[in-house]
Amino acid sequence: MKTAIVTDSNSGIFGSEARALGIHVVPMPIIIDGHTFYENENLTAGDFYDALISGRDTGSSQPSPASLFDIWDVALQDADELVYIPMSSGLSGSCNTATALSDEYENKVQVVDNHRISVTLRGAVNHACKLAAEGKSALEIKEILEEDSRRSSIYLAVETLKYFKKTGRITPTTALIGDILSIKPILYSDGDTFEAVAKVRGLSKARQALIDMIKRDREEKFKDYPDKDIWIMGSGSFVDKADAESWLKEVTEAFPGYDIMYDPLSLSIACHTGPNAFGAGIMLKH
């Protein structure tokens, strides 16, 4: 029995990489001034950030049922069943919608809600591909990924909370934090929402705070695992490529000997974070 793997573009997987992995990717709609665009199809990151910074009405949406059905049907042409791994149900309604739509497929479609976003979602997709290659069924893969769901951490520093406040993807307590000049809120996500866990002044302190939090989680939450079983992750919604390179260099130097995974934040997340946010994460490698 062959099991296909499907995810959405929040994973940061597109085009040639998806084809190399043998998976299918559902594009997440990006809305600008009422018009629908798709990342890496008819919308570049540069054009998106230009729209965001200039104050145009931007946001994200969930894939349409027709879009899901089309991609699932294509995947099932060459497979007996499929696993769909969308972004966390806590940050998008797409997971719950997909779960309801999967009833049309009589157990051939298993929808995973493992509370992953961005680079941690990419990690879950890689894990699913490995499990499928080992001959696991769609239901077995779903159960394994959901059991593993909380074995990750993501921390994020943002320039301003105004984009999060607009989209409602932060807790009410965090939303009360005012935007104060040079104060960087540090947010934590378990995949369901974002909550402020610290406030620091200035870029360098924000970067160090993220690194310190990942080191703390390595020593506490992931203490039972050897270094070889750990991914350290960096990400960002940087407008300037040099800033992204600088952040990756800092993360790499802070964790010598670890495998480092870096991805730009997908535009469906950058809608909430705003430009020049940056993050770090840790998760188990499979």
Note whether 126 and 133 are within 8 A (CB): no
Whole-model pTM: value is: 0.90
The list of the chain residues with pLDDT below 70 reads: 165-182
Short-list 2, 125, 132, 1, CA closest to 75: 2
Cα separations in angstroms, 171 against 57, 86, 177, 197: 22, 22, 11, 11
Short-list 143, 195, 139, CA closest to 170: 195
Distance of CA 267 to the CA centre of its chain: 10
CATH number for the region 3-28+63-147 comes to: 3.40.50.10440
pLDDT, residue 203, reads 85
pLDDT, residue 167, reads 59
pLDDT, residue 180, reads 59
Taking the domains of the chain in order of start, what are their residue ranges?
3-28+63-147, 152-284
CATH number for the region 152-284 comes to: 3.30.1180.10
